[in-house]
Amino acid sequence: MENRLINDMKANLISWDGSVQVGEAILKDNEKLMQELKALNFSLTLEMVDVLKEIIEKTGEIKKVLQGEKNLLVKQLNQMNRKDKMIDHYLVRDHSPSFVDRDI
């Protein structure tokens, strides 16, 4: 049972195509599998430890890519907000009446 769970996690990670959507789905699926694995009381073999190390490394890679994409999106949103503010500053005009004193 535990070998199947570990192998399923590894297979999920191997199937990652580099996209954010698939990466998020894999992390969610593997989280469920990890919870099942934790619920089992068993001893790890050396082979299992090696596979789990690979899983941890690959999961870290996916998380780095996801964090990079998140940072890029936040940066793009901030740039869009700045552009909107700049446009507002240039387009918003004060339409209050002004008086000219011609007696000067």
| 62 vs 12: CA distance, rounded Å | 12
- What is the predicted pLDDT for the residue at 102? 72
- Among the ranges given (15-19, 38-42, 59-63), the one the predictor scored with the smallest mean pLDDT: 38-42
Q: Provide the Cα torsion 79, 18, 57, 67; round to 10°.
A: 10
CB distance 55 to 16 below 8 Å: no
> How many CB atoms neighbour CB 23 within 10 A?
20
- What is the predicted pLDDT for the residue at 32? 96
| 44 vs 29: CA distance, rounded Å | 21
Q: What does the pLDDT look like over 6-27, one tens digit per residue?
A: 999 999 999 999 999 999 999 9
Does the global pTM surpass 0.95?
no
- What is the predicted pLDDT for the residue at 95? 61
Alpha helices in the chain (DSSP H): 2-14, 20-39, 46-91
Q: What does the pLDDT look like over 78-96, one tens digit per residue?
A: 888 777 777 666 665 556 6
- What is the predicted pLDDT for the residue at 80? 80
| Residue 56 clears pLDDT 90, i.e. is over it | yes
- What is the predicted pLDDT for the residue at 47? 92
Domain ranges of the chain: 2-91
